[in-house]
A and B are shown apart, each in its own frame.
Chain A
């Protein structure tokens, strides 16, 4: 299985400040045939299902605010929220879809400082 490890486990950031979450995969999730990284980001608010934010490591889903950006390739990835808003409080997960079993990171709990 491809193990996904996020850091930190928990993060407190002031409103308007930048938040950065890291995700590391135990195996390369870059597919050279199409030059794509099979890495996604979700966030999950209490009592709700996860919401897909980013796919292909850096492509924002429709309707996701542009304060969310993501980067990385191979085994190391980063999600950045440029200016934290109150509604961004959530648990953030990365997921690899390079191969089955599909696997998720353990989650990063993002709070307001």
Chain B
């Protein structure tokens, strides 16, 4: 059974770079034509799509974050990663990686039916 697990530092200083990794287990990230996604949720607030990446490396980002965000994939490690530069307190959130539903295979515009447990990240000095 496929599982997603986020990892990375839980505390990042303002102006530094937030780096998270999503490890995929129970299946190969490159065996399916999914756009794997990152979504975040500030404390007590709603959900914000950050961006998505195809296993071959093509990406799409939320324009609200595009100038600071980079998503990459490492098929040899079966994982994909998120970097957000120049973070501020507004980037404090729980960060989720997620897989689209099967019927969204090959589509960037997707719903997500498999999520990691989420990793809380606090931006603070």
Contact = CB atoms under 8 A, between A and B. Distances in A.
B94 to A, nearest CB: 9
A75 interface: no
Contacts of A52: 101, 111-113
A70 B62 CA distance: 28
A93 to B, nearest CB: 6
Contacts of B101: 52, 55, 61
Given A104-B46, A104-B48, A55 B109 contact: no
Given A49-B96, A52-B101, A55-B101, A102 B49 contact: yes
A98 interface: yes
B47 to A, nearest CB: 4
Nearest to A91: B46
B115 A50 contact: yes
Nearest to A39: B111
Contact of A103 (B37, B49, B117): B49
22 contacts: A48-B117, A50-B47, A50-B112, A52-B111, A55-B101, A55-B103, A93-B46, A93-B47, A95-B47, A97-B109, A97-B110, A101-B62, A101-B63, A101-B64, A102-B37, A102-B109, A102-B110, A103-B49, A104-B48, A105-B46, A106-B46, A107-B47
